[in-house]
Amino acid sequence: MASPANFLRLCLRPSRRLPTLRIAALQQPVLHRPLSTTQWRSAAADENAGKEEAEDEINEVFNNPGQYLSSFLRDEKITEEERQLATRMLEDWQKVPPNMRKTIEKLTEEITDASAPLRRPVVPKRDSFWNSEEPDTDLITDEVGEDDFEEDDIMAMGHAKLEEHREFREYARIAVWEMPLLSKLAKPFQPPTEEQVLRFRYTTYMGEFHPADRKVVVEFCPKDLPGLTEAQQLKLKKLAGARYNPEKDIIKMSCEKFEHQAQNKRYLGDLVNKMIETAKDPSDMFEDIPLDTRHHKFKQQIKFPKEWLLTEERKKELHEQRKQALLLDEAKRTEGSLIDGVETIQQALLHAKVEEAVPVLRGRSGRGRR
Amino acid sequence: MSAPNCLRCLVRPSAGIPVASVPRARAPLANLAPITAARSAPFSTTAANAKAKASSQKEAASARGGKKLQLGKFKKKDRTADKGRPPLPGERKAYRKRITLSNDNAIPVPWLTDLGPTDLAASENVAKVKSLPEELQDQLRASEAFKPTQRWGMFRKPAVLVRKETVDLANQMQDSANKKQMLRLVVTGDKVAGKSMMVLQAMAHAFLNDWIVIHLPEAQDLTTACTEYAPIPGTDPVQYMQPVYVLKLIQALRRANEKVLSKTYTTQAHPQLPQNIGANTPLLTLANLAKEPDNAWAVFQALWNELTAKGANRPPVLLSLDGLAHAMRLSDYRSPAFELIHSHDLSLLRLFANTLGGGVQFPGGGAVVAATSRNNAPRAPSMELALAQREAEQRLRAANNNNNSAPGDIEVPQKDPFFRGYDERVEAVLRSVQVLRVGGLDKLEARALMEYWAASGMLRATVDERTVTEKWALAGNGVVGEMERASLMTMRV
Q: What is the pLDDT of residues B427-482, one digit of tens each?
A: 999 999 999 999 999 999 999 999 999 999 999 999 999 999 999 999 999 999 99
CA distance B378 to B372: 11
Short-list B477, B475, B476, CA closest to B488: B475
Query: B492: pLDDT confidence band, cut at 50, 70 and 90?
Result: low
How many angstroms separate the CA of residue B144 from the nearest CA in chain A?
29
Phi, psi angle pair for B284, to nearest 5°: -60, -40
Query: A19: pLDDT confidence band, cut at 50, 70 and 90?
Result: very low
Q: Is A305 on the interface with B (CB under 8 A)?
A: no
For residue B107, the chain A residue with the least C-alpha distance is: A348
How many angstroms separate the CA of residue A230 from the nearest CA in chain B?
20
The reply to whether B453 and B432 lie within a common domain is no
- Chain A / chain B CB contacts < 8 angstroms: 51
Short-list B485, B382, B469, B476, CA closest to B429: B382
pLDDT 10s digits, A63-102: 778 888 888 888 878 888 888 988 898 888 888 888 988 8
pLDDT 10s digits, B186-232: 999 999 999 999 999 999 999 999 999 999 999 999 999 999 999 99
Instruction: Tell me: pLDDT of B12 over 70.
Output: no
Q: B109, B111, B465, B493: best mutation site toward chain A, by most A Cβ within 10 Å?
A: B465
**Is the Cα torsion angle B26, B28, B34, B40 positive or negative in sign?**
positive
Domain positions in chain A are 4-119, 199-280
The reply to whether B431 and B473 lie within a common domain is no
Interchain proximity A341–B454, CB inside 8 Å: yes
How many angstroms separate the CA of residue B486 from the nearest CA in chain A?
15
CA distance B247 to B271: 20
Instruction: Tell me: pLDDT of A13 over 70.
Output: no
Instruction: Tell me: pLDDT of B407 over 90.
Output: no
pLDDT of residue A232: 96
Q: Distance of alpha carbon B90 from its chain centroid, rounded?
A: 19
Q: What is the ipTM of this complex?
A: 0.72
For residue B419, the chain A residue with the least C-alpha distance is: A294
Strands (DSSP E) contained in A8-133 are none
Greater confidence, B133 or A60?
B133
Range with the poorest average pLDDT among A107-116, B142-151, B213-222, B419-428: A107-116
Please, what's the b/e burial string for A288-305 (b: 16 or more CB within 10 A of its CB; e: otherwise)? eeeeebeeeeeeeeeeee
Class of domain A199-280 as given by CATH = alpha beta
CA distance A288 to A62: 82
Domain-embedded: residue B62: no
Q: Please, what is the average pLDDT of chain B? A: 87
CA distance B128 to B130: 6
Domain-embedded: residue B133: yes
Greater confidence, A82 or A232?
A232
pLDDT of residue A364: 55
Helix (H) or strand (E) holding A119: helix A116-119
Domain-embedded: residue B233: yes
The reply to whether B453 and B398 lie within a common domain is no
pLDDT of residue A355: 67
Instruction: Tell me: pLDDT of A159 over 50.
Output: yes
- Averaged pLDDT, A319-338: 92
Domain-embedded: residue B464: yes
- Write down the H helix ranges in B231-380: 243-256, 258-263, 283-288, 293-307, 324-327, 347-356
pLDDT of residue B33: 41
Instruction: Tell me: pLDDT of A300 over 80.
Output: yes
Domain-embedded: residue B245: yes
pLDDT of residue A71: 85
pLDDT of residue A46: 45
pLDDT 10s digits, B43-90: 655 555 544 444 444 444 455 556 767 677 776 666 666 678 889 999
Short-list B324, B213, B304, CA closest to B259: B213
Interchain proximity A339–B451, CB inside 8 Å: yes
The reply to whether B277 and B390 lie within a common domain is yes
Domain-embedded: residue B212: yes
Interchain proximity B463–A345, CB inside 8 Å: no
The reply to whether B184 and B254 lie within a common domain is yes
Query: B160: pLDDT confidence band, cut at 50, 70 and 90?
Result: very high
- Averaged pLDDT, B351-363: 95
Greater confidence, B30 or A183?
A183
Instruction: Tell me: pLDDT of A36 over 70.
Output: no
From the number of C-beta atoms within 10 Å of its C-beta (0-12, 13-18, 19+), residue A100 rates as exposed
Query: A126: pLDDT confidence band, cut at 50, 70 and 90?
Result: confident
Phi, psi angle pair for B306, to nearest 5°: -65, -40
pLDDT of residue B276: 85
The reply to whether B385 and B286 lie within a common domain is yes
Contact present, B290 and B274 (Cβ < 8 Å): no
> Domain tally for chain B?
3
The domain of B372 spans: 112-408+423-437
Interchain proximity A340–B463, CB inside 8 Å: yes
- Averaged pLDDT, A313-331: 93
Phi, psi angle pair for B236, to nearest 5°: -140, 115
